[in-house]
Homo-oligomer: A and B are copies of this chain.
Amino acid sequence: MSVNRLAYFYDKIRKDLDRTVQFWRQHSQDEEYGGFFNCLSKEGKVYDETKHVWLQARQVWMYARLYNEMERFRNEDLLQGAIRGADFLMKNVRDPDTYKCSLIVTREGNPIKIQRTLFSECFYLMAMSEVARATGIEKYKKEALAMMDKIIGWIQVHGEGLGRPKLSGKRPCSMLAIPMMTLCIIDQLITMDPSLKYDDLTEWALEDTLKHVQRNGTIILETTTCDGKEMSGCAGRLMLPGHAIEAGWFLLRHATRSGDDELKRMAINSFIVCPFEYGWDMEYGGLFYFMDADGWSPVQLEWDMKLWWAHNEALIAFLMAYKETKDPAHLDKFAQIFDYSYSHFVDEKNGEWLGYLRRDGSVSLDFKGGPWKGCFHVPRSLMMCEQMLKELLQSTE
Interface assignment of A297: CB less than 8 Å from any CB of chain B = yes
Which chain B residues lie closer than 8 Å to A44 at the CB level?
Answer: none
Beta-carbon contact of A41 and B297 below 8 Å: yes
Interface assignment of A347: CB less than 8 Å from any CB of chain B = no
Which chain B residues lie closer than 8 Å to A366 at the CB level?
Answer: 297
Query: A112 with B305: in contact, given A47-B234, A359-B358 (CB under 8 Å)?
Result: no
Query: Which residues in chain A, 295-316, are within 8 Å of chain B measured between CB atoms?
Result: 296-299, 301-305
Within 8 Å by CB of A370, from B47, B49, B232, B299, lies B299
Beta-carbon contact of B305 and A367 below 8 Å: no
Point out residues on A near B: beta carbons under 8 Å: 39, 41-42, 47-50, 102, 104-106, 108-114, 165, 167-170, 232-234, 296-299, 301-305, 356, 358-359, 364-367, 370-371
Which chain B residues lie closer than 8 Å to A364 at the CB level?
Answer: 301, 303-304, 359
The smallest C-beta distance from A67 to any residue of chain B, in angstroms, reads 30
Which residue of chain B is the closest to A105 with respect to CB atoms? B169
Beta-carbon contact of B297 and A367 below 8 Å: yes
Which residue of chain B is the closest to A168 with respect to CB atoms? B110
CA distance in complex: A165, B50 (Å): 19
Beta-carbon contact of B301 and A167 below 8 Å: no
Beta-carbon contact of A114 and B167 below 8 Å: yes
Which chain B residues lie closer than 8 Å to A301 at the CB level?
Answer: 301-302, 305, 356, 364-365
The smallest C-beta distance from A99 to any residue of chain B, in angstroms, reads 16
CA distance in complex: A370, B110 (Å): 36
The smallest C-beta distance from A168 to any residue of chain B, in angstroms, reads 4
CA distance in complex: A170, B104 (Å): 10
Beta-carbon contact of B303 and A365 below 8 Å: yes
CA distance in complex: A104, B171 (Å): 13
The smallest C-beta distance from A236 to any residue of chain B, in angstroms, reads 9
Which chain B residues lie closer than 8 Å to A165 at the CB level?
Answer: 114
Which residue of chain B is the closest to A296 with respect to CB atoms? B47
Beta-carbon contact of B47 and A169 below 8 Å: no
Which chain B residues lie closer than 8 Å to A365 at the CB level?
Answer: 297-299, 301, 303
Which chain B residues lie closer than 8 Å to A41 at the CB level?
Answer: 296-297
Which chain B residues lie closer than 8 Å to A108 at the CB level?
Answer: 169
Beta-carbon contact of B50 and A111 below 8 Å: no
The smallest C-beta distance from A232 to any residue of chain B, in angstroms, reads 7
CA distance in complex: A367, B366 (Å): 29
The smallest C-beta distance from A307 to any residue of chain B, in angstroms, reads 8
Which chain B residues lie closer than 8 Å to A168 at the CB level?
Answer: 110-111
**Sample of 15 further A-B pairs with CB below 8 A, known A111-B169, A301-B364:** A39-B234, A42-B297, A50-B234, A108-B169, A110-B169, A111-B168, A113-B167, A114-B165, A299-B370, A301-B301, A301-B302, A304-B358, A304-B364, A358-B358, A359-B364
Which chain B residues lie closer than 8 Å to A234 at the CB level?
Answer: 39, 47-48, 50
